[in-house]
Structure 1
Amino acid sequence: MDYSKTASGVLSGVGGEENVTSLVHCMTRLRFVLKDESKADAAALKAVPGVVTVAQAGGQYQVVIGNEVPEVFAAIGKISRFGGSSAAAEPADEGPKGNLFNRFIKMISGVFTPVLWALAGTGLLKAFLSAAVTFGWIDATTSTYVVLNSLSDAFINFLPLALAITAARYFKASEFTSFAIGAALLYPAATALVGAEGLTFFGIPFTMVNYVSSVIPIIIVVWLQSHAERFLYAKLPAAVRRFLTPMIIVLVAVPLVFVVIGPISSVLSGWVGAAIGWVFATVPWLGGAIMGGLWQVFVIFGLHWGLVPLFQLELQTTGRMLLIAPVFAAVLAQAAAVAGVWVRARDKNLKSLAAPATLSGFLAGITEPAIYGINLPLKRPFAFGIVGGAIGGAIISLGGVFSTAFVVPSGLAVTALLGNGNMVFLGIGLLAAIVIPFLLVVLVGFKEPSAQAPAPESTDLQVLSPVDGTVVPLSETPDAAFADGSLGQGVAIRPRSGALYAPFDATIVAAFPTGHAIGLRHADGAEVLIHIGIDTVKLGGEHFALKVTSGQQVAAGDLLVEFDREAITAAGYDLTTPVVVTNPDLYPTIGSPASGPIAHGEPLFVAVAVEQVVAAS
Structure 2
Amino acid sequence: MSNQKQNHTNTADVPNETKETTLSKVLGVISGSFAPIIGVLAGAGLLKAMLSVLNTLGWMSDESGAYLILSAAGDAVFHFLPLFLGISIALKLGANGYVGGVIGAAILMPEMMHLVENDVKTIDFLGIPVLLADYSSTVFPIFIAMFVYAGLDRLLKKIIYKDIQMFINPLLSILILVPLTMMVFGPIGTLLGEGLGFVINFLSDRSGLLAGAVLGASWTFLTIMGLHWTIIPLAIVNLATGPDPIIAMAAAAPFAQVGIGMAVFLKTRDKDLKALAASGILPGALAGTTEAINYGIILRYRKTMIYVIIAAGIGGAINGSLGVVMNDFVLPSVLAIPAFTPIWEYLIGIGVAFAIGFLLTYLLGYEPKTSKVDVDFTQNAFGVKLETIKSPMRGKVVPLSSIQDPLFASETVGKGIAIEPEAGKIYSPVDGVITTQFPTGHAVGITSKNGAEVLIYIGLDTVKLKGKYFTPLVKQGNHVKQGDLLIDFEMDQIKAAGFETTTLVVITNTDQYLDIKAMNHDTVEQNEPLLKLTV
Residue in 2 aligned with 1:309?
233
1:121, 1:384 → 2: CA distance? 30
1:163 is matched with which residue: 65, 82, 85? 85
Distance 1:224 1:18, change over 3 A: closer
Q: After superposition, what is the alpha-carbon deviation per residue over 1:180-233, rounded to whole angstroms, capped at 9, x for unaligned?
A: 222211110011121313522222222211111111222222222222233334
1:296 is matched with which residue: 201, 217, 220? 220
1:201, 1:104 → 2: CA distance? 32
Residue in 1 aligned with 2:299?
376
Provide the secondary structure at the position in 2 that maps to 1:450: coil
Residue in 2 aligned with 1:135?
57
* Runs of at least 5 residues in structure 1 that lack an aligned partner in the other structure: 1-16, 20-76, 85-91, 455-485, 488-508, 513-536, 541-548, 552-617
Asked if 2 retains the 8 angstrom alpha-carbon contact of 1:291 and 1:327, the reply is yes
Distance 1:81 1:245, change over 3 A: closer
Larger radius of gyration between Structure 1 and Structure 2: 1
CA RMSD of aligned residues (A): 3.5
Asked if 1 retains the 8 angstrom alpha-carbon contact of 2:315 and 2:353, the reply is yes
Shift of 1:395: 0.4
The alignment status of 1:113 with 2:35, answered yes or no, reads yes
Structure 1 runs of 4+ aligned residues shifted over 6 Å read 77-80, 509-512, 537-540
Of the two structures, which has the highest relative contact order with CA contacts closer than 8 Å and spacing of 6 or more? 2
Residue in 2 aligned with 1:216?
140
Shift of 1:452: 4.7
Residue in 1 aligned with 2:206?
282
The alignment status of 1:232 with 2:156, answered yes or no, reads yes
2:329 is matched with which residue: 378, 387, 406? 406
Shift of 1:296: 1.0
The amino acid across from 1:234 in the alignment is K
2:312 is matched with which residue: 385, 389, 404? 389
Residue in 2 aligned with 1:35?
none
The alignment status of 1:339 with 2:259, answered yes or no, reads no
The amino acid across from 2:100 in the alignment is S
Asked if 2 retains the 8 angstrom alpha-carbon contact of 1:285 and 1:395, the reply is yes
Distance 1:238 1:550, change over 3 A: closer
Residue in 1 aligned with 2:73?
151
1:550, 1:139 → 2: CA distance? 64
Q: After superposition, what is the alpha-carbon deviation per residue over 1:60-91, rounded to whole angstroms, capped at 9, x for unaligned?
A: xxxxxxxxxxxxxxxxx996769x9xxxxxxx
1:453, 1:435 → 2: CA distance? 25
Residue in 1 aligned with 2:110?
188
Residue in 2 aligned with 1:201?
125
Asked if 1 retains the 8 angstrom alpha-carbon contact of 2:301 and 2:367, the reply is yes
Q: After superposition, what is the alpha-carbon deviation per residue over 1:84-143, rounded to whole angstroms, capped at 9, x for unaligned?
A: 9xxxxxxx6579943222221111012111111111111111122122222323211211
1:446, 1:231 → 2: CA distance? 54
The amino acid across from 1:209 in the alignment is A
Shift of 1:238: 4.9
Distance 1:131 1:538, change over 3 A: closer
Asked if 1 retains the 8 angstrom alpha-carbon contact of 2:144 and 2:189, the reply is no
The amino acid across from 2:224 in the alignment is I
Mean Cα deviation higher: 262-271 or 144-153: 262-271
Asked if 2 retains the 8 angstrom alpha-carbon contact of 1:510 and 1:550, the reply is yes
Shift of 1:333: 0.6
Distance 1:160 1:344, change over 3 A: same
Asked if 1 retains the 8 angstrom alpha-carbon contact of 2:87 and 2:99, the reply is no
Provide the secondary structure at the position in 1 that maps to 2:361: helix
1:255, 1:210 → 2: CA distance? 15
Q: After superposition, what is the alpha-carbon deviation per residue over 1:544-577, rounded to whole angstroms, capped at 9, x for unaligned?
A: xxxxx999xxxxxxxxxxxxxxxxxxxxxxxxxx
The amino acid across from 2:41 in the alignment is L
Residue in 1 aligned with 2:407?
none
Asked if 1 retains the 8 angstrom alpha-carbon contact of 2:94 and 2:150, the reply is yes
1:426 is matched with which residue: 336, 341, 346? 346
1:286, 1:184 → 2: CA distance? 41
> Where does 1:483-562 land on structure 2 (aligned, <5 Å)?
none
TM-score by length of 1: 0.57
Q: After superposition, what is the alpha-carbon deviation per residue over 1:515-562, rounded to whole angstroms, capped at 9, x for unaligned?
A: xxxxxxxxxxxxxxxxxxxxxx9899xxxxxxxx999xxxxxxxxxxx
Asked if 2 retains the 8 angstrom alpha-carbon contact of 1:337 and 1:382, the reply is no
Asked if 1 retains the 8 angstrom alpha-carbon contact of 2:252 and 2:316, the reply is yes
1:295, 1:221 → 2: CA distance? 29
The amino acid across from 2:266 in the alignment is V
Residue in 2 aligned with 1:47?
none
**Percent of aligned pairs sharing the same letter:** 34
